[in-house]
Amino acid sequence: ELKVEQNPLFLSMQEGKNYTIYCNYSTTSDRLYWYRQDPGKSLESLFVLLSNGAVKQEGRLMASLDTKARLSTLHITAAVHDLSATYFCAVDRPGSARQLTFGSGTQLTVLP
Amino acid sequence: DVKVTQSSRYLVKRTGEKVFLECVQDMDHENMFWYRQDPGLGLRLIYFSYDVKMKEKGDIPEGYSVSREKKERFSLILESASTNQTSMYLCASRFRGGYTFGSGTRLTVV
């Protein structure tokens, strides 16, 4: 059974600081996703990581994937208040429908 | 852009009622999914469908059923709503590049 563990679950950080969210998964998968969710809203796709060593960056967010370690990281650089949201990682399950298994989410609050 | 539309944003239903949550996608995708989201638990898969009239149970199917009579529409049915089904329900459609999620239905069962 595929399990996805995300940590930390809660993160308060000051504006301008850097931090990393970690996502570990238990079995082999060839796709890892990062999503952002604002309160009361749906999920917004941030990154899709397809291969070992993949790195993608968008603004102050950078995601990487190490398939051998079954680990993905979402690094936040010089945080700003607008980044406050809940971040989820999710992994494709093997099989034709490839349904997603999600981590529990990291609730990020960026303080002034 | 793919659009996934959930018909209701908020619903309040009584215990024991039969509840229908509707989801429509506009891009002819084969795979559609229903998740529920609860604080601290992330999103958990209820049911999914990989074609018309084809469905499979996810991780937490108890108390739910689904219907997919047309490719664009995937319905989640709560046969007899209970208070522990109070949650946010998210529908998703899969395409080659990933998934698109609907805006969610917040269901309260009283």
**DSSP-derived 3-state class of residue B20:** strand
The chain B residues in contact with chain A (CB within 8 A) are 31, 33, 35, 40-45, 48, 50, 56, 58, 90, 92, 94, 97-104, 106
Between A27 and A49, name the one with better pLDDT.
Answer: A49
Question: Could you read off the pLDDT of B43-82 as tens digits, one per residue?
Answer: 999 999 999 989 999 999 999 999 999 999 999 999 999 9
- What's chain B's length in residues? 110
Q: Across the interface, do A90 and B43 touch by the CB < 8 Å criterion?
A: yes
Residue A90, pLDDT > 80, answer: yes
CA distance B52 to A94: 21
| Backbone φ/ψ region at A97: left (φ over 0), alpha (ψ -120 to 50), beta | alpha
Residue B96, pLDDT > 90, answer: no
Instruction: For residue A4, list chain B residues with Cβ-Cβ distance below 8 A.
Output: 42
Tokens of A30: 């060839």
pLDDT of residue A73: 97
CA distance B97 to A52: 17
Residue B106, Cβ density class (10 Å: 0-12 exposed, 13-18 middle, ≥19 buried):
middle
